[in-house]
Structure formats: structure tokens, C-alpha cells
Amino acid sequence: MAGEVIVIALGGNAIKQAHETGTTEEQFHNVDKTAEQIAKIVESGYKPVITHGNGPQAGALLIQQEEAKASVPPQSLAVCGAMTQGQIGWMMQNRIAFHLQKADLTASVCSLVTQVEVSADDPDFQNPSKPVGPFYNADEAVRLEREKGYRIKEVKPGVHKGWRRVVPSPEPISILERGIIQDLVRNGALVIASGGGGIPVKKENDGSYSGVDAVIDKDRAGFCLAQVVSADILMILTDVEKVCINFNKPNQQELGKITVTEAKAYMAEGHFLAGSMGPKVEAAVRFASWSGKEAIITSLDKALDAIEGKTGTHIRA
Ligand SMILES: NC(=O)OP(=O)(O)O
């Protein structure tokens, strides 16, 4: 319905396609296509609040820190997270503003450096789950574990290049800049916030916050953002039009409209991969349970159709 606030969590393919190396030009091109879709959503009367992933970019920056450490001091993963938030936030802000202007729409676009509190005791520090950076084959994975001490996991079983470095991904507890996000949205700005899941920080005894070397899942942080802005819809955009059960098997089945209870049952049966569709369905279930409203998972090009109920996977309480 026009006027509704939609938190849109953009997946990696909105910024970098799997087959690309991730040049500035490639990323700007993808962000431009994404911005065009977001402008259409604004034109239809909805109020998007945007968040985005940073897995490929944070992993690439980590590699750059390691490769250049003989000449410049390597920066921490928390700093890499902040850098990716600035980078992608700028690209989004730049292209969304352009497409709004082209459509004679006047909203101010603002990307906000956003910190998200996590617990230093989160179990993910013991068993990291967040894939970052490029994909490797099994041989490369073994070599990188041995030579560089990376933690590597298979994230696409059965696929030649199905291995990725993983880093800790603690649960987001709260968004520190929630007040200013609410003010900006209330004043009509199109806000990009909590990018890359937010810069992970932990509270110190003196009340200050310090950076934590981790990458928060942007879908889980997207749910926190949806709570902050009292969203009417949480929409998670990825590379598939609908969520599937029995994915890549002969009995694969697309999901249309499902309840939270059904989604939880599919999760318990192990249909959704950790670090992939798992956190998306989990965030959608959390939102639908918390709000009593609808969460949608679909692809970028189907976003508007999905909002209008024509496609996508819709999860409701
Ligand atoms: N931070 C995050 O969830 O990034 P991706 O969506 O790129 O994995």
C-alpha cells in the first residue's frame, strides 16, 4: 500500500555479480541497476529504507590488508567493515539520488555510518559462519588454510568453486544510531543504514564502544533496522525469485505464501543453508513474528511485482 515503509535488504548480487572480479566500474554498474528499481518503488508511493551486504567487499579488503602489510599497516576487520559501508553507501546514495531526480522525485538520499552492538561472548566467535571474499575450489581452500590460517567452509556443496573464507558473525543486539535513523525517515529522507550488517562494536566498562572483528549478517541486522523504523514490510532481495525447499534436487519446490510456522518447520528440516538462505528465512520469520506483518524474499528485478503480491516468497505470522 502506498505510504508503507519497506526495509529493503540488498544481497551481494545488487553490488557484485558472482562471475565478476569486483572492479569499481562493475560495482557502480550493478548499483545503478539496483537504484533504478528502488526509484520505481519510490515512484509507486512506498518509502524504502535500504540496507546492504558487504561479504565480497569486506573479504577483498582483508586480502588487500594482508598483501600490502609490508608497506602499510593492515587495518582491522572492523575498520574494513566501516570502509565497505562508506564505499557501498556512497555508490547507492549517488545512483539512487540520480534515478530519483530522473523520475522528478525529490527525496533526499542519505547513507549513515551505522554501528551495531554485539556481544563479545557470541558463540559465532568459536565457530565462524559468515562467508567473505572470493570463492575457492577445494585445493585452494586447503592451501589457504595451511598457508594463511584462514577458516574456510564449503558454502555451495557440490559446486567446483564452493568454498569461502568465513569470519565471526555475531547476532546484532541494537543499532546505536537508531534515533537519527528515525528522525531522518520521519523527515522524508531515503536512508541507507546498517550497511554490511553495521560496524560491529562492543560496550566497554567505561561506557564507550570499541570495534569488533566480525561481519554481522545484513539480513539479521535488516530485521533490527525494520524494528527501528517500525517497517510495514521487510523485503530481502537475493538472486532467486522464490525460496525453494529441496533446493537443487529433483523434488525442488518453490515457496509462495507461507506461515511462520511452516517456515520454522522447513528451517528445522534443514532446507536452508547457513550463511546463505538460512539467515534470510530466519530474519523474515523474526520480522513476521514480531510485527504480525509480511516479510518478502525475492529477486531485485521482481521487487515491485512481489510488493504487489504477484511473486516472491511471502512469510506471514
Ligand atoms: N554482511 C553481509 O551479510 O554481507 P553479504 O550479504 O554480502 O553476505
Q: Mapped to the 3 state alphabet, what secondary structure does 253-299 carry?
A: EECCEEEHHHHHHHHHCCCCCCCCHHHHHHHHHHHHHHHCCEEEEEE
How large is the angle between the packed helices 218-228 and 277-291, nearest 10 degrees? Answer: 20
Q: Which residues contact 141 (CB under 8 A, 6 or more apart)?
A: 152, 154, 163
Identify the CATH assignment for 5-119+172-316 out of 3.40.640.10, 3.30.70.1350, 2.40.30.10, 3.40.1160.10: 3.40.1160.10
Q: Per-residue pLDDT for the chain (317 aa), expressed as one digit of tens each?
A: 778 999 999 987 789 988 899 999 999 999 999 999 999 999 999 999 999 999 999 999 999 999 999 999 999 999 999 999 999 999 999 999 999 999 999 879 999 999 999 999 999 999 999 999 999 999 999 999 999 999 999 988 888 899 999 999 999 999 999 999 999 999 999 999 999 999 999 999 999 999 999 999 999 999 999 999 999 999 999 989 999 999 989 999 999 999 999 999 999 999 998 878 999 999 999 999 999 999 999 999 999 999 999 999 999 99
Residue 231 Cα to ligand 1 middle (Å): 21
Rg, Å, the chain Cα set: 19
E strand segments, 204-252: 209-211, 233-238, 244-245
CA-proximal residue: ligand 1, atom 6 (nearest)? 53
Active site residues per annotation: 12-13, 130, 218, 280
* Cell numbers placing 6: 519497506
Report the distance separating Cα 308 and Cα 296, nearest Å.
11
Residue ranges per structural domain of the chain? 5-119+172-316, 129-167
CA of 10 to the centre of ligand 1 (A): 9
Q: Show the ligand 1 pocket: residues with CB < 6 angstroms.
A: 11-12, 53-55, 196-197, 215, 217-218
Can you give the pLDDT at residue 13?
A: 77
Specify whether the CB–CB gap between 307 and 235 falls below 8 A.
Answer: yes
ipTM of the complex: 0.99
Q: Whose CA is nearest to atom 5 of ligand 1?
A: 53
Residue 11 CA, closest ligand 1 atom number: 6
CB 124 within 8 A of CB 170: yes
Q: What is the DSSP letter of 153?
A: E
216 CA → ligand 1 middle, Å: 8
Q: Which three three-digit cell numbers place residue 302?
A: 521482481
Out of 167, 218, 224, 237, give the residue to mutate to test ligand 1, the one with the largest number of ligand atoms within 8 Å of its CB: 218
Residue 156 has a pLDDT of: 84
Of ligand 1's atoms, which has the minimum distance to the CA of residue 217? Answer: 3
- The pLDDT of residue 102: 96
Q: What angle do CA 300, 199, 277 make, to 5 degrees?
A: 40
| Residue whose CA is at the smallest distance from ligand 1 atom 4 | 53
Name 118's Cβ contacts closer than 8 Å, sequence gap at least 6. 170, 171, 172, 173, 200, 201, 202, 212, 214, 216
Contact between 156 and 13 under an 8 Å Cβ cutoff? The reply is: no
Q: How far is the CA of 56 from the centre of ligand 1 (A)?
A: 8
Q: Which atom of ligand 1 is nearest to the CA of 279?
A: 3
Q: How far is the CA of 9 from the centre of ligand 1 (A)?
A: 10
Question: What does the alpha-carbon distance between residue 11 and residue 33 come to, in Å, rounded to a whole number?
Answer: 13
9: nearest Cα among 142, 192, 171: 192
Ligand 1 test: best mutation among 31, 54, 192, most atoms within 8 Å of CB? 54
